[in-house]
Amino acid sequence: MTARILSLHIYPIKSCAAIDLTTSPIDRAGLLGDRRWMILTAQGQFMTQRQWPAMARIRPALTADHLELRAPDMPVLRVPLDGSQLGPVARGVTVWKDTVAAREESTEAAAWLSQALGLSCVLFKVDQQAQRPAKIDWVERWREAHPEQAERFVGDHFFGFADGFPLLITNQASLDDLNARLAAHGQPAVPMDRFRPNIVIEGDDWEAYDEDVTAQIAIGDSLLAFVKPCTRCPMPNVDQLTGERYDEPGWTLATYRQLDIGIVFGQNAIVDAPQGSRLNVGDAVEIELDF
């Protein structure tokens, strides 16, 4: 069964807007530049669109030298990528139940974000020496179920500030099905950006929710193992252009996508990729189903 990469996306700052890509390096940490920064309140709580949907209106861009941030009625903020404005000492910051070594960006960045979001907050960048592994219980469960590929996924899968895994992969056919269900009860369609994937895949034979029974996909020499369905919080209800929150598609998803771990859409994945690997929009995807 084959398909293709429909789109690629990174989110340099956790819970802020995406950057859409046509090509990206990939390694065991996922796509280059994904969720390397995170905003914390002055009290140290990491911030997401779950509580602060206006974060969707902060739009990052990456140049050769800077992370650039834009938001309505705000000047452009340029954060150097060379680390020259980072705090001298890494400290532990909390993402769910994980503690990750990170360094604080400048007071200028903190002031900009505080004004844009309307509360006192600071910007942290994951430290180069940080080691945050993917959820080992899910990784080991996958390895035990697929001994023929287990050796390719030995060791840790370190990544940045994503919720629990290096990659989130979604299926365009599943979104098409969801939008048909929304239309059936008079609700507007939603775009895939509501689900904040890294990789969107489209295939004539990869039908809606076939990702639930996909063991792995191969893209060139890179192998991506589907280790855990992605449980969905209220974030898909946030319009990624306006930051407005709605009731859909969450209500509709809850009627037919409820599993024992929660409401699910998309799959979390880990990566085995040779050094120097890249993904490109349009790349062929070989799909291996789990039965």
Q: What's the pLDDT score for residue 129?
A: 86
Tokens at 265, concatenated: 């859409």
Q: What's the pLDDT score for residue 226?
A: 98
CA gap 263, 275 in Å, rounded:
35
Q: What's the pLDDT score for residue 137?
A: 92
Q: What's the pLDDT score for residue 128?
A: 86
Q: What's the pLDDT score for residue 42?
A: 94
CA gap 270, 266 in Å, rounded:
14
CA gap 54, 230 in Å, rounded:
23
CA gap 7, 37 in Å, rounded:
22
Q: Is 116 helix (H, G, I), strand (E, B) or coil?
A: helix
CB 234 within 8 A of CB 248: no
pTM above 0.75, yes or no: yes
Q: Is 198 helix (H, G, I), strand (E, B) or coil?
A: coil
CB 218 within 8 A of CB 286: yes
Q: What's the pLDDT score for residue 118?
A: 96
Q: How far is CA 77 from the centre of its chain?
A: 23
Q: What's the pLDDT score for residue 159?
A: 86
Point out the residues of the chain with pLDDT beneath 50: none
Q: What's the pLDDT score for residue 81?
A: 96
Q: Which CATH number fits domain 2-33+132-289: 3.20.20.10, 3.40.50.300, 3.30.565.10, 2.40.33.20?
A: 2.40.33.20
CA gap 260, 35 in Å, rounded:
28
Q: What's the pLDDT score for residue 156?
A: 76
Q: Is 194 helix (H, G, I), strand (E, B) or coil?
A: helix
Domain extents in the chain = 2-33+132-289, 37-126
